[in-house]
Amino acid sequence: MFTTTSSARFAGGAWPVGYERRRLIALWHQAAARATDEQRPVLVCYTIAVQPRDALQVWSTFTRLHLGDCCFWELPDQGSALVGLGVVTANETTGQERFAEATAAWRTLCQRAVIGSEDSVDKNSGPVLVGGFAFDALPEQTALWEGFPEGLLILPRLLYQQRAQKASLTISALLEPGCDVETHAQEAESLLARLRTHESNTEQRAGVEHEAGAKGQGRLVARDIQPPEEWQRTIAHAVEAIRGGAYEKVVLARSVEVTQPEAPFEIEETLTRLRESYSGAYVFAFQRGGRYFVGATPERLIYARDGQLRTMALAGSYPRGATEEEDQRLGAELLSSAKNRQEHEFVVSLIRTALADLCSKVWVADAPHLLRLKNIQHLETPIFGELLPGRSVLEALEVLHPTPAVGGLPRQAALEAIRAHEQLDRGWYAGPVGWVDAQGNGEFAVALRSALVEGNKATLFAGCGIVAGSNPEGEYAESCWKLQVMLRGLGGEDCEIAK
């Protein structure tokens, strides 16, 4: 299949995958020798430059290779994406120390790793962990979130990365002491060969399958898991507790079960709808067997690159208007709303304080602006920092999560109230999802506007920030606006929630 010259190239095909075969073989031998010398597994990674592809087409190709779970992460309007296939190693952590344990395990693995690339590859490409963390590590996990532990960061066997107009593929393996290195190297080459074949076939089938998927979309049936009146009573009790001084703010969530009786949900179709409707959001999907956690969240928790950190405060919500005039009016009301501005300032203050020990400098924008999405708008304030030397994006997660936007204030009192009264296993909903590379750079978003999908059933989540001025009926209406993101993503433009 491949020549023994210094460069093996696919002839023809829509996506030629090329690599320097001798360099790949040399890297695998180097890693195997190190594993034997140190008597412990050694990670080996090789990154090659490829022509950019549509991220969803890469997802389609990867899923058809049937080599394990896939993951998808994209910022559509920025042209950046990560698509992963298979599992080389899974960094699973539990408890309150899960962020610190994940940081230490990844650093240890990278220190011994053998990492190489083509000369033309962008310096920021290479091995990446992708995954997420549960909102709260203390409550016992229910069967709903089986396969999605409190912390899970996966190194994909094959990873497609794209930034702007540059793209790469990273193939990785974990070599044990005394392993058959020739067999492992042949497996790597075989995977690249299969990729090209399936990519060409995927292109030929894409139009037909997309049309078939659209025609096969059935009606959706949605129902509240917790009766609306009961959830609103919980909100009313929280308002009383806030007015009594128990805490300043608490975020309470609800869930909705959506079924499609005629057919299972197609994740690729859902991702297509989400990226088209919410191109400014983080569109993501994480597969665990036959289950998918999928969504489109507007809230960045943190981005870190070369010591520069970016985050934001996102809190306070209003619906979008049906007309330009109504939209402007609602936006002005949100900016001047005392309840929403108070909620927003809670978030800004806590983030600034949390970053003080992690950064040498922190800057906060003077005032919030409107972040407008398809059916909802939020108050947003950008925040910047300079990370102290040697600090990782995972360490920033530990001090930032959960922000008051998804937990409350003070943090501990709000978390205790959520555990006691919410009656919901949040799992990864409202937790950090994203990626981290070998240099400690990375990006994590808060998993809002999301659903857990299995077959023809999906569980959707939405939460609201409760403060002293909250109204239970108004909070329920706000949660319904937020649920519309995933209802539309699943194909339910006209779907109403049964009460």
- Looking at the DSSP bridge assignments, the partners of residue 363 are 384
pLDDT of residue 214: 43
The sign one gets for the Cα dihedral 224, 446, 123, 85 is negative
For residue 465, the SS3 value is: strand
For residue 75, the SS3 value is: strand
Cis before 368? omega within 30? no
**Tokens representing residue 209 in the block:** 């399958």
Residues sharing a CB contact under 8 Å with residue 144, sequence separation 6 or more, in sequence order: 425, 427, 452, 459
Torsion angle of alpha carbons 46, 51, 52, 53, nearest 10°? -100
285: number of Cβ within 10 Å: 23
| Cα separations in angstroms, 340 against 337, 380, 466 | 5, 11, 10
Residues sharing a CB contact under 8 Å with residue 399, sequence separation 6 or more, in sequence order: 354, 355, 357, 358
Strand 249-259 and strand 80-85: the pairing is unpaired
Annotated active-site residue in 299, 380, 395, 398: 299
User: Could you read off the pLDDT tens digit of each residue along the chain, which spans 499 residues?
Assistant: 222 233 333 333 446 677 788 999 999 999 999 999 999 999 999 999 998 989 999 999 999 899 999 999 999 999 899 999 999 999 999 988 899 999 999 999 999 999 999 877 877 788 999 999 999 998 888 999 999 999 999 999 999 999 878 899 999 999 999 999 999 999 999 998 888 776 555 454 444 344 434 444 568 899 999 999 999 999 999 999 999 999 988 999 999 999 998 899 999 999 999 999 999 999 999 999 999 999 999 888 999 988 899 998 877 888 888 899 999 999 999 999 988 888 788 778 878 888 888 889 999 998 899 988 766 788 999 999 998 887 888 888 988 899 888 998 888 999 999 999 998 999 999 999 999 999 888 999 999 999 999 999 999 999 998 888 889 999 999 999 899 999 999 997 655 665 5
C-alpha span between 109 and 107 (Å, rounded): 5
Q: What is the CATH architecture of 219-279+302-426+452-498?
A: 4-Layer Sandwich (3.60)
Q: Are 19 and 2 in contact (CB under 8 A)?
A: no
| Cα separations in angstroms, 20 against 27, 232, 498 | 11, 62, 58
Which residue is it, tokens 């925040």? 383
Q: Are 61 and 197 in contact (CB under 8 A)?
A: no
C-alpha span between 474 and 453 (Å, rounded): 28
| Cα separations in angstroms, 482 against 239, 251, 375 | 21, 14, 8
Distance of CA 414 to the CA centre of its chain: 24
Q: Are 420 and 247 in contact (CB under 8 A)?
A: no
Distance of CA 22 to the CA centre of its chain: 36
C-alpha span between 315 and 339 (Å, rounded): 11
Annotated active-site residue in 20, 118, 199, 249: 249
Q: Is 299 a catalytic residue?
A: yes
Q: Is 249 a catalytic residue?
A: yes
C-alpha span between 113 and 30 (Å, rounded): 10
Check residue 17 and report its DSSP letter.
-
pLDDT of residue 340: 86
Check residue 402 and report its DSSP letter.
S
For residue 233, the SS3 value is: helix
Q: Are 19 and 11 in contact (CB under 8 A)?
A: no
Which residue is it, tokens 């083509």? 118
C-alpha span between 319 and 438 (Å, rounded): 40
DSSP character string of 185-231 = HHHHHHHHHHHHHHHHHHHHHHHHHHHHHHHT----EEEESS-HHHH
Strand 442-446 and strand 450-454: the pairing is unpaired
Q: What angle do CA 137, 305, 394 make, to 5 degrees?
A: 15
Domain chopping of the chain, boundaries: 21-213, 219-279+302-426+452-498
